[in-house]
Structure 1
Amino acid sequence: MADDTLAHRAQNPTVTETVQLPPSSPPTNHGKTIAAWTTTWVVVAGGLIAAIGMVAALVWLFWVGIGLCFAGLVVGKVLSVLGYGQGGAATLARQKAHGGH
């Protein structure tokens, strides 16, 4: 049974933790960038094509879908490097023009 009396609390103060804040504020776009959306939809389309290839027993269509998934990852990375990802120059300019979100 815990001693929750006022005298006990006065003699044993509660220890609080310090809060560690990030060095800068995080981006306000929540990952809604051109690079993220392009990557997502190309990979989803590739997965759908690969699934259709599996159901239809067409090996070549399956591998086309898998290839499209990998191409989507490459395109997303290229767009991110070009500034269309989170924190990129094009994304920051777009945020500034559209009010931050």
Structure 2
Amino acid sequence: MADQSLAHRAQHPTRTETIHLPPSAPPTNHGKTFAAWFTTYGVVAGAVVAGLAMAFAVVWLFWVGLGVIVVTLILGKVLQVLGHGQGGAATLARQARSGGH
């Protein structure tokens, strides 16, 4: 355990560290984009369907759930490419309209 007495602190002053900030501010949407929400909800819905299918032993419904997941991932990537993802044109325009948040 380190000595935290007043005499010790007087003899060993604390050094100040330099803080290096990023060159520009990060996006203010915190990843809450249309593409991200669509992908998240779609994958969760597909996982719920596949999980229920496993619980009730319905094989075809399990494959439907996995299909929903795959289609959602593809459509999420398409939405990102179309500008609805982080840093996309549609996301930046929506941020500008709403004041940055």
Q: TM-score, normalised by structure 2?
A: 0.85
Question: 1:86-97 to 2 correspondence within 5 Å?
Answer: 86-97=86-97
Query: What residue in structure 2 maps to residue 35 of structure 1?
Result: 35
Q: What RMSD in Å do the two structures reach over aligned CA positions?
A: 1.8
Question: 1:47-62 to 2 correspondence within 5 Å?
Answer: 47-62=47-62
Q: Among the aligned pairs, what percent are the same residue?
A: 63
Consecutive aligned runs of 4 or more in structure 1 exceeding 4 Å deviation? none
The structure-2 alpha-carbon separation of the partners of 1:3 and 1:26, relative to structure 1 and needing over 3 Å to count, comes to closer
Question: For each residue in 1:20-39, what CA deviation from the matched residue of structure 2 results, as whole angstroms up to 9, or x when unmatched?
Answer: 21221111112211101100
Stretches of structure 1 lacking an aligned partner (at least 5 in a row): none
Deviation at 1:9, TM superposition (A): 3.0
1:4 is the counterpart of 2:5: yes
Query: What residue in structure 2 maps to residue 76 of structure 1?
Result: 76
Deviation at 1:78, TM superposition (A): 1.6
Query: What number of residue pairs does the alignment pair up?
Result: 100
